[in-house]
Chain A
Amino acid sequence: MREPRWFQWVRGVGLCLLTLFTVIPLYVMVTTSVKPLSDVQDTFQWWPSVLTPQPYVDMWSTVRLADYFVNSVVVSLGAAAFSVLIALFAAYAISRYRFRGRDVFRFTVLSTQMFPGILFLLPLYLIYATVGQATGIVLQGSHIGLIITYLTFSLPFSIWMLVSYFDSIPVDLDEAAFIDGAGPVQTLWRVVIPAAKPGIAAVSIYAFMTAWGETLFASIMTDADSTTLAIGLREYSTQSTVYWNEVMSASLVVSIPVVLGFLALQRYLVQGLTAGAVK
């Protein structure tokens, strides 16, 4: 497609504005993280009066950042792994089988995306408590409780995306495997999953991020041993002052792995979305 001159102008200006919009807050985050506390408490300066690595040192002792980080990693990885695994089975069933209740299931799962978290927060807490009393398995305040909660948050999207992905994989491949005597699990494992790798990557990163950032449920369902970053980072501001510089340095450190992971895998998310939505 030939681009007229005006479009090149519009593009230049548009990209500049979008870049500014994106970069300025990021710049503020990075520079604030190397400012001394006195700078942060005073009128905003574009450049720190002194560049100091101190916030990066202090942030570990002001709050139990390392523990929170480990908790978040455990919870998010667990939620992502189970979410993907469970979604694979469900998506395979929906994509490859016609059975009674199929549409009901699809619609119900999708409609859970609409549920306001605030509606089922307290009942869910009660259910976890009841399960705990009945079986001795502690769900509220434990990693596993959070994993279960979060895996279902990403499940609808994961299933939906994998279904569209599987739909784009020719059934002939499955049939070839059947003729070779493979069962559904083997077919899923040997044929469908390898062909759907990008979709799986995309779903994994989505599920991970969903769990990584959740605040509302974490605020009630965590205790001292399972506090995640989303809750733990708030401790920088519940003390005698708000340690803005440490908030920013800690946020930066804990965001980098996620951002890098996301950027590395975003291409699969694009492919997944293409396979899904665009058809």
Chain B
Amino acid sequence: MRHRRLSGVIVLILVLMSSLLAGCAREQDDGRTLTYWASNQGNSPQQDRRILNEEFEKFTARTGIEVNVEVIGWGDLLNKILGSAVSGVGPDVVNLGNTWAASLQATGAFVPFTEERMRQLGGRERFLETSMSSTGMPGRPPSSVPLYGLSYGVFYNKAMFREAGIEQPPSNWSEFVDVARRLTRPSQEQWGMTLAGASYTENAHFAFMLGNQEGAQLFDSDGRATFASPPMVTGVQRYVELMSEYEVVNPDDAEIGSATEAVGNFANGEAGMLVAQNSAIAAIRAAGMADSQWGVFPLPVPEPMPEGGEAVRSHVAGTNIAVYRNSDNKEAAVELVEFLTSAEEQSILNEKYGSLPVVTDAYDNPAFDTKALRTFSSVLAESSKRVPMIPNENRFETTVGAAVRDLFARAGTDRSVSRSDIADALDEAQQKMRSGGGSTR
């Protein structure tokens, strides 16, 4: 008797839990609802959700396919993509940083965009060539397609330029440093420029751009890391020197962990210049700086150009979109991609997010015909270079980015950073990359 009662209670608990489970179990996909993980492009996930839902109403009206949007912060996005890639349980469509394209392609989690699928999207030629180059390993069908285009440019504060008697934006790197020095007045808490010294992604981007200007290659022909080559050291040195040698950057910036925080410094008038992607425009506006108060010029390059150097003024930045192999409804998912890369939606979404259309036929919109956006779009189309599309790209960002971060930490704490310090730091990053715990191929 007693024991039957005990078993009864235990069974009851299990039943209770499993009924809870059943209650919480999601309704099965009817194939007409897509789950879409959107990256955070606007000022807040809330805003993103509003913007996207508004557009998806049109999509649903046209196709009958419902879209369930989930906006995921950049800090969590890669982990969540990884988790879903490993488990096979995830959304149907996902956004990703375009520098991850090859790394994620290697996992095989995404549907390749074959010729046929590309034709459905209007053909490869519709897309900007540079953006299209950052969609996966060369020679393979891309595993993602571009969605939002971004590139670097130098924002400058017009009033500060006037006040310092600077009439022309600098045209090469030494003029740039000179302008930054003229803008720097530490006693008034005004600095030549601001940067996010603790952000490993930003640091990696700068190491890539400035290194390329010096003629550095990140990987040799065998795919081995060559981070510590003299041109690479020079490139990183040019970046770190802004704080350590020329002191045109507030040492506080060594602590800044994200590009958006640096935007705050620029918009508050604490720094005269900011090297940032065009996504910063929305943030600058949100921080209360009117469009008339700032201008943009392309990132300067050294003059004369070092041997082997390229006039790289940005990496090909932006957000891509991909379809999961595990999606129950790949056709509907591709339709969604088609919708989002259509000229109409490219024009609407990129205008709202302050990013650049990745398809040429969306540039008719006068909203993209401002001086600033023309600068960014011409940099993206003409003088940007994609980061190496290799599966280990993410490890380049983490190792080199962290090395530069540590160099800034030293520069910020009044310790000068010598060329050999930089060489040592990069050499260590290279060692880590090369050894890689059996992961390099």
Q: Direct A–B touching in the complex (beta carbon < 8 Å)? A: yes
Contact between A235 and B89 (Cβ–Cβ < 8 Å)? Answer: no
Contact between B73 and A238 (Cβ–Cβ < 8 Å)? Answer: yes
Flag whether B409 is at the interface (Cβ < 8 A): no
Contact between A144 and B21 (Cβ–Cβ < 8 Å)? Answer: yes
- Interchain CB contact (< 8 A) of B263 among A139, A182, A185, A240: A240
Residue of A nearest to B263 (CB): A240
Within 8 A of B (CB), among A223-247: 223-224, 231, 234-235, 238-242
Count residues of chain B with CB under 8 A from any CB of chain A.
44
Flag whether A213 is at the interface (Cβ < 8 A): no
Flag whether A138 is at the interface (Cβ < 8 A): yes
> What residues of chain A lie closer than 8 Å to B74, measured between beta carbons?
238
> What residues of chain B lie closer than 8 Å to A138, measured between beta carbons?
24-26, 89
> What residues of chain B lie closer than 8 Å to A132, measured between beta carbons?
89
Flag whether A259 is at the interface (Cβ < 8 A): no
Flag whether B2 is at the interface (Cβ < 8 A): yes
- Interchain CB contact (< 8 A) of B79 among A63, A126, A137, A219: A219
> What residues of chain B lie closer than 8 Å to A185, measured between beta carbons?
2, 5-6, 9
Flag whether B1 is at the interface (Cβ < 8 A): yes
Contact between A41 and B264 (Cβ–Cβ < 8 Å)? Answer: yes
CA of A240 to CA of B88 in the docked complex: distance in angstroms?
A: 33
CA of A234 to CA of B73 in the docked complex: distance in angstroms?
A: 9
CA of A209 to CA of B75 in the docked complex: distance in angstroms?
A: 25
> What residues of chain A lie closer than 8 Å to B1, measured between beta carbons?
183
- Interchain CB contact (< 8 A) of A142 among B24, B43, B87: B24
Query: B interface, by DSSP: helix, strand, loop or mixed?
Result: helix
Contact between B2 and A64 (Cβ–Cβ < 8 Å)? Answer: no
Contact between A140 and B89 (Cβ–Cβ < 8 Å)? Answer: yes
Contact between B21 and A137 (Cβ–Cβ < 8 Å)? Answer: yes
- Interchain CB contact (< 8 A) of B24 among A128, A143, A223: A143
Residue of B nearest to A226 (CB): B24
**CB-CB under 8 A for A241 and B88, given A185-B5, A220-B79:** no
> What residues of chain A lie closer than 8 Å to B260, measured between beta carbons?
239-241
Contact between A235 and B26 (Cβ–Cβ < 8 Å)? Answer: no
Flag whether A28 is at the interface (Cβ < 8 A): no
Flag whether A56 is at the interface (Cβ < 8 A): no
**CB-CB under 8 A for A136 and B88, given A63-B45, A89-B10, A125-B83:** no
- Interchain CB contact (< 8 A) of B80 among A86, A139, A220, A234: A220
Flag whether A206 is at the interface (Cβ < 8 A): no
Flag whether B44 is at the interface (Cβ < 8 A): yes
Flag whether A184 is at the interface (Cβ < 8 A): yes
Within 8 A of A (CB), among B237-281: 258, 260-261, 263-264, 268
- Interchain CB contact (< 8 A) of B17 among A63, A82, A130: A82
CA of A184 to CA of B7 in the docked complex: distance in angstroms?
A: 10
Flag whether B216 is at the interface (Cβ < 8 A): no
> What residues of chain B lie closer than 8 Å to A224, measured between beta carbons?
70-71
Contact between B24 and A129 (Cβ–Cβ < 8 Å)? Answer: no
**CB-CB under 8 A for A235 and B6, given A126-B87, A183-B1:** no
Flag whether A122 is at the interface (Cβ < 8 A): yes
Flag whether A45 is at the interface (Cβ < 8 A): no
CA of A82 to CA of B76 in the docked complex: distance in angstroms?
A: 29
**CB-CB under 8 A for A223 and B70, given A62-B44, A240-B263, A241-B260:** yes
Flag whether A22 is at the interface (Cβ < 8 A): no
Residue of A nearest to B44 (CB): A239
Contact between A64 and B46 (Cβ–Cβ < 8 Å)? Answer: yes
As a 0/1 sequence over residues 377 to 406 of chain B, the CB contacts with chain A under 8 angstroms (1 = contact) are 000000000000000000000000000000
**CB-CB under 8 A for A61 and B46, given A183-B1, A185-B6:** yes
Flag whether A263 is at the interface (Cβ < 8 A): no
CA of A24 to CA of B245 in the docked complex: distance in angstroms?
A: 38
> What residues of chain A lie closer than 8 Å to B71, measured between beta carbons?
224
Contact between A140 and B283 (Cβ–Cβ < 8 Å)? Answer: no
Contact between A240 and B40 (Cβ–Cβ < 8 Å)? Answer: no
> What residues of chain B lie closer than 8 Å to A16, measured between beta carbons?
none
Instruction: Please name 18 pairs of A and B residues whose Cβ atoms are closer than 8 Å in the assembled complex, sorted by A.
Output: A63-B46, A125-B83, A125-B86, A126-B87, A137-B21, A138-B24, A140-B87, A140-B89, A144-B20, A144-B24, A183-B5, A235-B44, A235-B73, A238-B74, A238-B258, A240-B43, A241-B260, A241-B287
Given contacts A126-B87, A138-B89, A183-B5, 14 further A-B pairs with CB under 8 A are A63-B46, A89-B10, A122-B86, A138-B25, A140-B89, A184-B6, A185-B5, A185-B9, A220-B80, A231-B76, A240-B264, A240-B286, A241-B261, A241-B283
A interface with B by C-beta (< 8 Å) = 41, 61-64, 82, 85-86, 89, 122, 125-126, 128-130, 132-133, 136-140, 142-144, 182-186, 219-220, 223-224, 231, 234-235, 238-242
What 5 A-B pairs have minimum CB-CB distances, sorted nearest first? A183-B2, A129-B87, A240-B283, A224-B70, A129-B89
